[in-house]
Structures are given as structure tokens and as C-alpha cells.
């Protein structure tokens, strides 16, 4: 029962399972033990400091539990009965979605009854979360079992900020399209503000499915989801949803800490000894799941023994296959298949003193896992499809001795980051065999070089960094401190060395403080000099990227002649020539006339509202109107134009509503500028929601800087235009070899 919990939590995490295990003594006394996992470790400090609650199933069927506290975290149990577990969890989640999302490695089943259970249980989770979330709270929903929860929550509680993270892959459209409920699931997910995936490709597959099934406009990671009543997409209003990759990780430091413990190192030595001190110990650790490619691994190993390329005298494979989903029939069949293969191989190749495969169908304490990682010379991760694969990252985190070789399937999400592993296609048995031999024979120097680079990757992006970057995208920062933060300074050092560097800057709110009358805006003192110092450097181009009409931008910014300019969100461009490029079709000119008439009459009748002409549209400013009048004017404009010009692009800014007959964004502007300048790295700074389009097209090596508070895709944030000027000076200094710091 959740009814007694108060709606007071400002951060609510929702996942199928609560992060606790249940135990009941003979006398009926109930105890809860925290089940250790990366997600809990990552979110624990945050949950404590931000008054958080965790909503989920406690792992026992048919039992009601009151919300309770465990280890300082408030837990809100959701009841599941036996039928729910069979139909929602084992059925729709694990027998339909799991195989479908893992590229149909096993055939998915499609049953209407299990779908009904999925909807019913998702509704229960959504209701439980809605009941405990404070007004305006952030709710973070996890994984494929709960894809309908974001939409259900938004409908019940439009005040909430909702995030969703998918821990498993999202399949290509050709596969996803098989799902009879494909539209309902997408619609469910699009209830979130930010949808996180493991890999770039997963986010791309999702966005493509949205385009194919709903036709919503998408730009990079941004999807414009129509809002309003009735059938989707009737009113012209839209909500911005971000679908982006946020690769999950582990608590790397805690793994290394365990690995450094003398008792665990002693245990690692003991494991090797017990196995007869083989020259090479190979290890596989997986849930017993058909996605993990355990069969392919055994086949490759068996053939290597049969070919005589490896011998049981020298090499032992330890395979941990943790019990998983044991009531689902595909998993029962898999267990038989794997155990048959292990039995055959051991029968064929083991000797009295040497076992080919040491196979364990158990779960072990984490300490034992770490000892195994330490003991293993070669780690085999041969997944046929895997969202991320944390085992690969754990192995790397444990190897503080900078030794050991990771053989990693390119079909695991981890392969995107862990490029210094030996990457394999597990379907290619010959290739996998060669990779295993290469790993066994790899010289120490190469092992160290590769492991060092792998360790850097895992340390840089640990699970705390992962959750922080997701929540940053979801909620924006709290109060932003003054000055240049250290991580930003580090990133500036990175881009300063680019061959061709593009510095692209929004103007209002970024170089100039916001003012009541747009024509009065001026860059703060020192900006011009800072820009000049960049212009003096070879290989650096500076561009202003503004929503203003270009003539207005020229007027207020008074830019040096070599500054590249784009105005009207990329519609107007001026690149090293006096001409402003722009072309509008005659139909667009006609639309512009209607737009001018409608907004003219609104601003003429509502005090404090003004109109600004733009080359391809008009902006309605409400900064000087009362809040009520401002809202009235914006509503009237949306309603009247929605009727008369349904195809218009509407863009909302701070106290301004912009209508354009041509759709273009600051993201288009940045892309155009990147092409024109041939820049290999881009720095972009901006403060407004329209700058998010520019952040969305930045690449991994670029730097996005958000000014002020609010949700953002930018990786960094500073307080005000003062810091922006400091940042520009700093980039110029770094590039010319000096290093003044503020």
C-alpha cells in the first residue's frame, strides 16, 4: 500500500525492483538488506541529500508493505501478485520486449493478455510515483518494464519533470515495427522530458521509430512532440523531448578499493592455485541469458582445444552463469543447452588434473567476483547484443595492476567506449578464436598499454558522472556559482589545441545582459577585446549566432568585420561578404503578410506587447506586459495563427513568442558554420532554449556552455556574460600558450 506516503519527495526513482532483498525469519520478523548495485550506489547520496524516494516491487509476490526507510532511503513498495509476475514481468517484459529489443536473438512472443497486464502494472507504478512526488518533483523512471509510466505520470501530474532511462538496446525500426503495440510504447516513452539510451545508435533507432510512426519533427537529439487536446498534432503547440545516449557505468572506485584489499588479493591467488595454476586463466561472468553469447564462447574455446591451438594443461576457462529468469521457458532451454555443451567439452578435453571449463551456476558475493576478475588473465565478454555490459567495466576497474586482456563483443554498448579492448564479432567463430589466441599470447607491454587506456575511460565516466549528466540534462543546475569551474577549464584546454576552432556565440543573455528593449542590448565591457584576441589567432573563427534579425544583430553587437554572423535562427547568414544570404518563396511571403496582420492586431490591443520584424517571421515580445496580459497575448496569437497558418514554426523564448514561415534553428546555423569554416572543434555558448538546438548538434569533442539556470544539453554552465568573457580570454590565452586564470 502506498496511500500512507505523503507527496513530499522532490526526487523519485521508479524501477521494477526496489534495491533491497527481503528476508523473513521463522517468527515472522521481516528484514531488508540493500542489494548492492551500481544504480543504488550512484543515486544513494543524491537520494539522501535531495529528499528522494524509490518506488518499486520488493521482490515478494502478493504482499503489501507500507513505505519504509532502509539505509536512509525511503522505499515505496508496489504490490505485484503471481499473475502480474507471470504476465507483466516474465511474459511481456522478458518474453516479448527483451528478445525483441535484443535484435530477436530469440523469438519474441506477442500475447494480448500479457500486454494488458503490462498496461495494468505500469499504471500501478505510475500511480504510486504520482502519490509520493512533491509538486514540480523530478521523477526518473528506469528500464523496459516501465515504458508506459512516463506518459501515465505526465497525464496525472503535468507539473512533474520526467526522465526515462532504457538499460537495454533499442532495436532498429525493421525489428521494432514487429511489435503490435509499437505506437503505444513510443507514446508512453514520449511522456518523458529526457529519454536516455546506452548508445548513440539506440537513441537514433528510437528517434527514427518516432519519425516513421508519428512523423514528428526531429533535429539531432531533439524531438518536437505535439501537445494539445484531441488527436496528436492538431494545435501546433509542441513539447521538446530529448532522446540521447548516456552510457551507464559502475562505481569504479569501490571496485578498485575491493581489489586492493589484501584478503581479496589472497583469495585471487588461491583461486588460481585451486585451478592448478594454469598459465592462462580465462573468465566469463554473465547472467545465464541467451543475449550473452555463452554458447558462442564455448564453441570457440572448444574448437581451440580440438585444434590444439590451446591446451587444458595451459588454459582454464572459468564460467560463472548466474541464475536468471528461471521460470521463463527459453531460459530453461538455454540452461540445458549450455550445460550440455560444458559437459561435452569437459568430457572431451579435461584430464584428471586439468579441467577445461570450471562452470558455476551460482551467484557470488561481490568480493568473490572481484577476486575472480583479479585472478583472470583474459576476460571474455561475447554478448550477441547487450545494452552496456557492466562486467567488462568491472574487470577494467579492478585491474589496478594495469594487466589483463579484455576480449569484448562489438555488440555490447561498452564497445563504444572501450575501444582498446580486443573487439570481436561473436558470430564469427574463427575471428573469435583468433582474438582469444591473441589475448592469451599478448605481450606484457601491449597489455599494459591497452589496459591503461581502458582504465582511463572507466575512471572518467563512472556511475556518478553518468547519473549527474542525466539529471543535469533533465533538470538544469541549481544556483550557478561565479567563475570558471575546473571541469570547464579542462575542456577549454582540450579545444584550445584544435587545428581549426570555431567559437560560436549567442548574443543576448550570453555576451550582453537581457534588457527590456532589445535595441538597447550591448555586450558587457571587455567582450570586444576578448573577441579581438581570438580573431588575432590563426586557425580560429568567431561567429555570432542569434535569433535576432541580422540587421538588428549588427546594430547591437557592432561586430568586427571578420566575425561571421547568422541571424533569425540561421535563416540569415553573412559569411566574409557584405551580402546577407536569404531567400523566401512567394508562398512564404504571403504567409508573412497574414502573420503581420494577426500579430499587429493583437499587440495593438494588449498593453505592453510589441512586435519585432524578422526576415522570415515575427516575434511577439511580452516582457513589458503584465504576466496576465502576456499570457493572454501569447494564447491569442497561438490560437489565431494555429487556425490560419497551421504550418508555422513556433518558438518560445523568455517572454517572447516567435513565428517563422521558414523553419531553421541555431543548430542549423552551427552546422552551416562548421562546414564553412572546416572547424574540427566547436565551442558554443548560449543561454536560451533556442540555444539547445545548437547544443544538440555539438559533437563529443566540442564544448557547449550554458549561461544561467535551466535544463540544458550543454556539458558546462557558467553564471553570466561576465564568465563568458573570461572564458573567451582563457581560450585565447591557452591557444597562444599563456595561461591566465580567473
> For binding to ligand GDG (CB under 6 A), which residues are involved?
167-168, 248, 285, 287, 320, 322, 363-366, 369, 386-391, 394
User: Nearest Cα to 545, choosing from 456, 446, 665?
Assistant: 665
Residue 441 to residue 447: CA distance in whole angstroms: 10
Cβ proximity to ligand GDG, 347 vs 365, nearer residue: 365
Cβ proximity to ligand GDG, 38 vs 721, nearer residue: 38
Do the Cβ atoms of 548 and 518 come closer than 8 Å? yes
Cβ proximity to ligand GDG, 40 vs 636, nearer residue: 40
Do the Cβ atoms of 280 and 312 come closer than 8 Å? no
Residue 16 to residue 36: CA distance in whole angstroms: 15
User: Does an H or E element contain 408, and which?
Assistant: strand 405-409
Cβ proximity to ligand GDG, 42 vs 557, nearer residue: 42
Cβ proximity to ligand GDG, 70 vs 254, nearer residue: 254
Query: Residue 190 CB, nearest distance to ligand GDG (Å)?
Result: 21
Query: Residue 680 CB, nearest distance to ligand GDG (Å)?
Result: 32
Query: Residue 367 CB, nearest distance to ligand GDG (Å)?
Result: 8
- Cell numbers that stand for 275 in this block: 585451478
Do the Cβ atoms of 382 and 410 come closer than 8 Å? no
Query: Residue 36 CB, nearest distance to ligand GDG (Å)?
Result: 7
Cβ proximity to ligand GDG, 386 vs 693, nearer residue: 386
Do the Cβ atoms of 717 and 483 come closer than 8 Å? no
Coil, strand or helix at 97: helix
Cβ proximity to ligand GDG, 407 vs 504, nearer residue: 407
Question: Helices H, strands E: what count in the chain?
Answer: 25, 29
Cβ proximity to ligand GDG, 42 vs 225, nearer residue: 42
Query: Residue 467 CB, nearest distance to ligand GDG (Å)?
Result: 12
Query: Residue 707 CB, nearest distance to ligand GDG (Å)?
Result: 33
Query: Residue 319 CB, nearest distance to ligand GDG (Å)?
Result: 11
Query: Residue 318 CB, nearest distance to ligand GDG (Å)?
Result: 12
Query: Residue 391 CB, nearest distance to ligand GDG (Å)?
Result: 4
- Cell numbers that stand for 297 in this block: 564462447
Cβ proximity to ligand GDG, 389 vs 527, nearer residue: 389
Residue 248 to residue 193: CA distance in whole angstroms: 19
Query: Residue 178 CB, nearest distance to ligand GDG (Å)?
Result: 20
Query: Residue 255 CB, nearest distance to ligand GDG (Å)?
Result: 9
Query: Residue 177 CB, nearest distance to ligand GDG (Å)?
Result: 22
Residue 182 to residue 395: CA distance in whole angstroms: 37
User: Nearest Cα to 283, choosing from 369, 390, 366?
Assistant: 369
Cβ proximity to ligand GDG, 21 vs 629, nearer residue: 21
Considering just the CA atoms, what is the radius of gyration of the chain in Å?
29
- DSSP notation for 559-575: --TTSEEEEGGGTEEE-
- DSSP notation for 135-148: EEEEEEEESGGGTT
Strands 68-70 and 73-77: antiparallel
Cβ proximity to ligand GDG, 165 vs 181, nearer residue: 165
- Cell numbers that stand for 206 in this block: 528510437
Do the Cβ atoms of 396 and 300 come closer than 8 Å? no
Cβ proximity to ligand GDG, 11 vs 283, nearer residue: 283
Cβ proximity to ligand GDG, 369 vs 530, nearer residue: 369
Q: In the chain, what's the furthest Cα-to-Cα distance? A: 95
Residue 621 to residue 612: CA distance in whole angstroms: 7
- DSSP notation for 681-738: EEEEEE-SGGGHHHHHT--TTSEEEEESSB--S-SEEESSHHHHHHHHHHHHHHHTT-
Do the Cβ atoms of 107 and 386 come closer than 8 Å? no
Q: What share of the chain is helix, strand, coil (3-state, %, to 5)?
A: 45, 20, 35
Ramachandran quadrant class, 596 (left: phi over 0; alpha: psi -120 to 50; beta: rest): alpha
Query: Residue 700 CB, nearest distance to ligand GDG (Å)?
Result: 20
- Cell numbers that stand for 421 in this block: 579492448
Query: Residue 382 CB, nearest distance to ligand GDG (Å)?
Result: 12
Do the Cβ atoms of 5 and 41 come closer than 8 Å? no
Query: Residue 68 CB, nearest distance to ligand GDG (Å)?
Result: 24
User: Does an H or E element contain 414, and which?
Assistant: none
Cβ proximity to ligand GDG, 387 vs 570, nearer residue: 387
Residue 721 to residue 550: CA distance in whole angstroms: 21
Residue 448 to residue 50: CA distance in whole angstroms: 41
Residue 385 to residue 415: CA distance in whole angstroms: 11
Query: Residue 251 CB, nearest distance to ligand GDG (Å)?
Result: 10
Cβ proximity to ligand GDG, 351 vs 363, nearer residue: 363
Residue 94 to residue 100: CA distance in whole angstroms: 9
Cβ proximity to ligand GDG, 363 vs 644, nearer residue: 363
Amino acid at each position: 500500500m502506498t496511500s500512507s506516503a505523503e507527496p513530499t519527495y522532490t526526487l523519485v526513482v521508479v524501477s521494477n525492483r526496489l534495491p533491497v532483498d527481503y528476508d523473513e525469519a521463522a517468527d515472522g520478523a521481516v528484514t531488508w538488506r540493500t542489494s548492492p548495485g551500481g544504480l543504488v550506489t550512484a543515486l544513494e547520496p543524491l537520494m539522501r541529500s535531495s529528499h528522494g524516494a524509490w518506488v518499486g516491487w520488493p521482490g515478494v509476490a502478493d504482499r503489501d508493505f507500507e513505505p519504509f526507510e532502509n539505509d536512509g532511503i525511503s522505499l515505496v513498495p508496489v504490490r505485484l501478485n503471481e499473475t502480474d509476475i507471470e504476465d507483466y514481468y516474465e511474459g511481456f517484459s522478458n518474453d516479448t520486449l527483451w528478445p525483441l529489443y535484443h535484435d530477436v536473438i530469440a523469438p519474441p512472443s506477442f500475447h494480448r493478455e500479457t500486454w494488458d497486464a503490462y498496461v495494468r502494472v505500469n499504471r500501478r507504478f505510475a500511480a504510486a510515483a504520482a502519490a509520493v512526488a512533491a509538486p514540480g518533483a523530478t521523477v526518473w523512471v528506469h528500464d523496459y518494464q516501465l515504458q508506459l509510466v512516463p506518459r501515465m505520470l505526465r497525464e496525472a501530474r503535468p507539473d512533474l519533470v520526467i526522465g526515462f532511462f532504457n538499460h537495454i538496446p533499442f532495436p532498429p525500426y525493421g525489428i521494432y515495427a514487429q511489435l503490435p503495440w509499437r505506437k503505444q510504447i513510443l507514446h508512453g516513452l514520449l511522456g518523458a522530458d529526457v529519454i536516455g539510451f546506452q548508445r548513440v545508435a539506440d537513441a537514433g533507432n528510437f528517434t527514427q521509430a518516432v519519425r516513421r510512426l508519428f512523423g514528428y519533427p526531429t533535429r539531432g537529439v531533439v524531438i518536437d512532440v505535439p501537445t494539445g487536446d484531441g488527436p496528436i498534432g492538431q494545435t501546433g503547440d509542441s513539447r521538446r523531448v530529448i532522446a540521447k545516449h548516456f552510457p551507464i557505468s559502475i562505481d569504479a572506485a569501490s571496485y578498485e578499493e575491493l581489489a586492493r584489499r589484501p584478503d581479496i588479493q589472497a583469495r585471487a591467488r588461491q583461486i588460481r592455485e585451486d585451478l592448478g595454476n594454469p598459465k592462462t586463466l580465462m573468465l566469463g561472468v554473465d547472467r545465464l541469458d541467451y543475449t550473452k553469447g555463452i554458447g558462442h564462447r564455448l564453441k570457440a574455446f572448444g574448437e581451440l582445444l580440438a585444434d590444439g591451438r590451446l591446451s587444458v594443461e595451459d588454459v582454464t576457462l572459468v564460467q560463472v552463469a548466474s541464475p536468471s529468469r528461471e521460470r521463463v521457458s527459453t531460459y530453461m532451454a538455454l540452461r540445458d543447452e549450455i550445460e550440455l555443451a560444458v559437459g561435452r567439452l569437459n568430457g572431451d578435453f579435461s584430464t584428471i588434473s586439468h579441467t577445461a571449463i570450471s562452470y558455476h551456476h551460482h551467484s557470488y558475493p561481490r568480493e568473490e567476483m572481484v577476486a575472480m576478475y583479479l585472478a583472470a588473465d583474459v576476460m571474455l565478454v561475447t554478448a550477441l547484443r547487450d545494452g552496456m555490459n557492466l562486467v567488462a567495466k568491472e574487470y577494467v576497474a579492478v585491474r589496478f595492476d594495469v594487466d589483463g586482456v579484455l576480449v569484448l563483443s562489438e555488440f555490447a554498448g561498452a564497445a563504444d567506449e572501450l575501444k582498446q579492448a580486443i573487439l570481436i564479432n561473436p558470430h564469427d567463430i574463427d575471428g573469435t578464436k583468433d582474438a582469444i589466441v591473441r589475448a592469451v599470447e599478448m605481450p606484457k607491454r601491449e597489455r599494459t598499454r591497452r589496459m591503461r587506456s581502458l582504465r582511463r575511460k572507466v575512471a572518467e565516466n563512472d556511475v556518478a558522472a553518468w547519473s549527474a549528466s542525466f539529471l543535469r540534462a533533465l533538470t538544469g543546475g541549481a544556483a550557478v556559482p561565479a567563475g570558471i569551474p575546473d571541469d570547464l577549464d579542462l575542456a577549454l584546454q582540450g579545444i584550445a589545441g584544435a587545428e581549426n576552432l570555431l567559437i560560436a556565440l549567442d548574443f543576448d543573455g550570453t555576451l550582453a545582459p537581457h534588457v527590456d528593449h532589445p535595441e538597447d542590448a550591448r555586450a558587457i565591457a571587455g567582450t570586444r577585446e576578448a573577441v579581438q584576441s581570438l580573431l588575432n589567432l590563426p586557425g580560429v573563427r568567431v561567429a555570432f549566432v542569434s535569433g535576432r534579425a541580422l540587421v538588428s544583430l549588427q546594430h547591437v553587437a557592432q561586430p568586427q568585420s571578420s566575425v561571421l554572423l547568422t541571424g533569425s535562427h540561421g535563416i540569415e547568414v553573412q559569411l566574409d561578404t557584405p551580402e546577407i544570404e536569404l531567400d523566401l518563396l512567394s508562398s512564404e511571403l504571403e504567409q508573412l503578410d497574414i502573420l503581420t496582420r494577426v500579430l499587429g492586431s493583437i499587440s495593438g490591443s494588449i498593453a505592453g506587447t510589441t512586435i519585432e520584424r524578422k526576415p522570415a517571421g515575427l516575434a511577439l515580445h511580452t516582457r513589458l506586459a503584465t504576466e496576465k496580459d502576456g499570457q493572454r497575448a501569447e494564447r491569442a496569437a497561438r490560437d489565431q495563427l494555429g487556425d490560419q497558418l497551421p504550418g508555422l514554426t513556433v518558438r518560445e523564448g523568455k517572454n517572447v513568442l516567435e513565428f517563422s514561415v521558414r523553419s531553421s534553428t541555431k543548430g542549423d546555423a552551427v552546422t552551416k558554420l562548421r562546414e564553412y569554416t572546416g572547424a574540427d572543434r566547436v565551442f558554443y555558448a548560449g543561454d536560451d532554449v533556442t540555444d539547445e538546438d545548437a547544443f544538440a548538434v555539438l559533437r563529443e569533442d566540442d564544448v557547449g556552455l550554458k549561461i544561467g539556470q535551466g535544463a540544458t544539453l550543454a556539458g558546462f554552465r557558467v553564471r553570466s556574460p561576465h564568465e563568458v568573457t573570461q572564458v573567451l580570454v582563457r581560450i585565447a590565452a591557452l591557444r597562444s600558450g599563456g595561461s591566465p586564470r580567473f
